[in-house]
Structure formats: C-alpha cells, structure tokens
Amino acid sequence: MNTVSSDSGAAAEAAVDAVAEIRNAVKRYGGVLALDHVDFSIQAGEVRALLGKNGAGKSTLIRLLTGAECPDAGEVLLCGNRVPDNPDTRARHAAGVGVRVVYQELSLVPDMSIEENLYLGAWPRKSLALDYQAMRAGARAALAHLGLDNLDPRQTVASLTAAERQLVEIARALMGQPRLVILDEPTSSLTDREARRVLDAVRKMSANGIAVIYVSHRMKEIREIAQTATVMRDGRASPTHRLADMSDADIVELMLGHGQAIVQETLRSHVLDEIALSVSGLCAPPKLAGVELTLKRGEVLGLAGLLGSGRSELVRAIAGLDPVSSGELVFRGERYTRWNYRQLLARGLGFTPESRKEQGIFAQLGVDENIVLTALRKVSRGRMLSAAHAHDAAAAVIRRMGIKASTPAIPISTLSGGNQQKAVIGRWVHAQAQILLLDEPTRGVDVDAKQQIYAIMRALAAEGNSVIFVSSELEELPLVCDRVAVIRDGRIAEELAAPAITTQALMSACLFETSTGD
C-alpha cells in the first residue's frame, strides 16, 4: 500500500498549489477529541475520497474547510491564505474563495423553480424587480454544464427526480467559479443509473480544474472516479493514498485499525428450527430489489449495511409501513402478498423506528402511558381503561427493562435517551410481541444503556421471540447477533453466522462485492 508522501520536495512544491490545506488541526467538542493533529491537502482537479466510519471525524474536517468551525489548534488555508478565526467572517471567507459543499440532506426549496433555487439569496435584479431573463440564461448555462439541457429552469424542484434534484444542488454549488466542491454522500439515495449522472458531473468538475472531496461508502464509485483517498479513524487522518495502490483489505484495515476488531463472544444460542418470518422477492423501488430473508424463532438477526443501502427501508417494508411493489411475506405461518402494519400488529409484530424522538415516543405522556398504549385492552376492564392496571403493567415493564424513572407517570421526555429507548422496546414486551423489528435501537444512547439493550434482546430470544436488529455500528453486531445479513444495493449480499461474525468481515461485505474475509 503506497502513500503520497508529504515530506518530499515534490510534495512541498505541490503544497504551494494546494486549493485547501489543514495543518496540525485539533478540534474538541467538550471532552470529545474530534480531530487529533490532522494534516490534509488537496490540489486543483484532484478527486479525493474521504473515508471512515461514522464518528471518525469526516464531518468535522469538512466543517473546518467550509469555515463553519475553527480549529482549537493548527490552521486552515484556502488557496494559500489562512482562514480567519473570527466566526463572523470565516464562513464568508471560505465561500468567497470558492469552497462549496453539497450535503446529503439537500437544501433546495421544493415549491420554487430551478432558476430561483440556483440564485437563492443572490437573485439578479433589474431596477427594483427580479431579472428573470438573466436568471433564466444563467440557469440554462449552469444546467447545460452538467448535461441537464432537458430541464426547463422554470420547473419546480418538486417535479424533479431524486437524481435531478441532486444534480441541481451540484449545479448551484458550481455557480460563481468554485475552487473546491465537497460532496457528502451524493448518491446514497439514488439508484445505480441515477448515480451515473452524478459521477459524470464529478468528472466534468475535475476536468475543469475543480478540486473535489467525495464522501461515500460506495467503493465501486470511489474507485471509478477518485485518484486518492484519505481515511479517517478516531479523529486522525491517514496520509494520502493512491487508490490504485490500495487493496480492499488495506481500506478495511485503515478504517478499523490494527487490533480493533471485535470478535463475537460465545453466545448461548436459542435458535429453533422454525421459521418465524420470511420474505421472498421483496421489491420496493427505488431501494429494494428482490430481497430474500428468513428469521428463525429464538434468533437475533442483525441487519447491516452502509448509508443508503436500504436497511431501514427493508424493515419498514416488512412491517407494512412502506408500500411494496411485489414479493411475499410469511409471518408466523401466514402467507401474505399484500399486508399492512395493523394486520401484523394483531399477529404479534413489534416495531421500533429509527428516529426515537420524532416517531418512537409521545414526549409529553408518561412513561406508563407510552408503555401500555400498544395494548390498551390488556389494561382495560370492559370498555374502560383501568389506571391501576396500567400503572401495575407499566411498573412491571419498568422493573424488567431496568428503566430509571422516579415514577411511572413521569413524562418520558424527562428520561435519558437510553431509558426512553428501553421504554419504547418495553411497550412491545407489554404487548407480548413475538417478532420484533428494532431499527437502530442503540443510536444516541450511552455505553451502559447499550449493554442493557443487548441483554434485553438476548433475553427476548431466550424466551422464544425473534428479533431483527438494524444497526449502523458494525462493532456491536458481533456482540449480540446469532446471524447477520448484509444488505448492499437493495439485496441481501452476504450472511455471516456466529461465531464467524467479525467487524472486518462485516465491513468488507458492506463495502465490496466479495468479502475479503479476515
């Protein structure tokens, strides 16, 4: 594995022509070290892949380059000039020298036209009115530069496809002669065909001398368009590597680090030879394309995949929350070609959504109300809800789940994230759900709460229940899962069974078409 050395005379000469440099940067957020003496530089026309796990420091590095943040130590230079420390001027300085960023969450206004979005905040004027003629001409030129001659600048953004919206966002970034464009997961929500158009746009930018930082987990795309790569891990940046000199195993090793692999501990298996749930030929465009998956009784099945792979879309489709174009579901012996959430709830489904605060809790209701609301009949007498029975049922779940709450009636919003999440899972324990789909149940909770949630999943499996555990943190899957299915490009690409579940194997399966193994 060869690196592009920064110590040679050639590198020193190249640094003079660097569009952007970060020198020995340190950045802390409270007690968390986000960047640890990071060096980084990129040249005109270079396409640099920026790689790393979630939390590795990629976003913080980008924020330094855009002027959104200032390093606690070290310095940032754009086109040879130091970015000022003043928070009121540094972002304007970065934009003024030509730094542009396109985030994964697009910032276009759907009900406005393409041309209005392209000139948002800088609309050309003729006297006191907007100069729509100049705006339209500029918009046509910007769109043509990316091969979007077919789009009418007067169209609303809401009428565009996902790929067209992404390209319009890139076209806006190219307004005003940029020097550096940062693309943050630009194809994560696109199909392969749509992603082709974005890659073509990147090639055109590079050919025109624009430096591009490309953040993505889609290794096929990265190898296709990027010449070099920087890998971040634990707030540190690797030297610059030529991608042509890096094997798949090299990339995985840099992302995980030597000796950082978490190997599955011996778990007591409770898996029975009985299918609790299966899907076959499940299609839900644009994300899912013919998924085949089985879940056994007493099994904790992990679902792994990188951002945009279709993890959450799959569990939502299985739960009947999102429409399915075709496919078959077998749920506790019943076969369905069409199904919905309410049907499956009645048959013993439990589902916790990815976004706990927005979709998982009723913030102003008590912990007890949040727990019992999925099975009110169990705490009712006749047609009347029994407050005493609701209190007792909730208290039993609170004890079992180890929820720290002064009283069952305290608003759930006052609890920590970990205790809120345990209550969300606890409502399905109260409902006696037998198949649980848990989408990112450990996101945003502390280490102790994670361990408790792992133990809860294993205990539920030991009782004969079945769990699908979706997680973006690959390190935790070996700790709790009997088996892990890896979803890539809308299909189950690979399965790993205990005890052969390791972080290296999972990372390789997520990134590459064929696993590199250990």
pLDDT tens by residue, 52-90: 876 788 989 999 999 999 999 999 999 989 998 888 899
pLDDT value of position 225? 93
Q: Does the pLDDT of residue 9 top 50, yes or no?
A: no
Q: What integer best gives the mean pLDDT of the chain?
A: 86
Digit-coded pLDDT (tens) for 154-180: 999 999 887 788 889 888 888 888 999
The confidence band for 4, taking pLDDT boundaries of 50, 70 and 90, is: low
What tens digit of pLDDT does each residue of 252-278 get? 888 877 544 444 455 788 899 999 999
| pLDDT beyond 80 at 346 | yes
Query: What is the reported pLDDT for 262?
Result: 43
Max mean pLDDT range (257-261, 326-330, 373-377, 504-508) = 326-330
Which pLDDT score, from 0 to 100, does residue 11 have?
Answer: 41
pLDDT of residue 325: 94
Phi/psi of residue 394, nearest 5 degrees: -65, -40
Q: Is the CB of residue 54 less than 8 Å from the CB of residue 256?
A: no
Q: What is the mean pLDDT of residues 295-302?
A: 96
Q: Which residues lie across from 302 on neighbouring strands?
A: 469, 484
- On the question of a cis peptide bond just before residue 178, with omega within 30 degrees of 0, the verdict is no
Range 371-389 average pLDDT: 81
Q: How far apart are CA 210 and CA 480, in angstroms?
A: 46
- Pair 36, 234: CB distance under 8 Å: yes
pTM over 0.85: no
Which structural domains are found in the chain, ordered by start? 18-98+177-246 (3.40.50.300), 107-176 (no CATH), 275-511 (3.40.50.300)
Helices 162-173 and 132-145 cross at an angle (nearest 10°) of 110
Closest CA to 505 of 469, 483, 377: 483
Confidence at 516, pLDDT banded by 50, 70, 90? very low
Burial 391-400, CB ≥16 within 10 A → b, else e:
bebbbebbee
> What integer pLDDT is reported at residue 416 of this predicted model?
81
DSSP 263: B
- Between CA 108 and CA 157 the distance in angstroms is 7
Q: Which two tokens stand for residue 484?
A: 């892990």
Check: CB of residue 42 under 8 Å from CB of residue 18: yes
The residue that leads in pLDDT, 123 or 428, is 428
pLDDT at position 517, please?
42
Collapse the DSSP code of 146 into the 3-class scheme (helix H, G, I; strand E, B; otherwise coil) and give the result. coil
Q: Which residues 6+ apart lie within 8 Å of 334 measured at CB?
A: 347
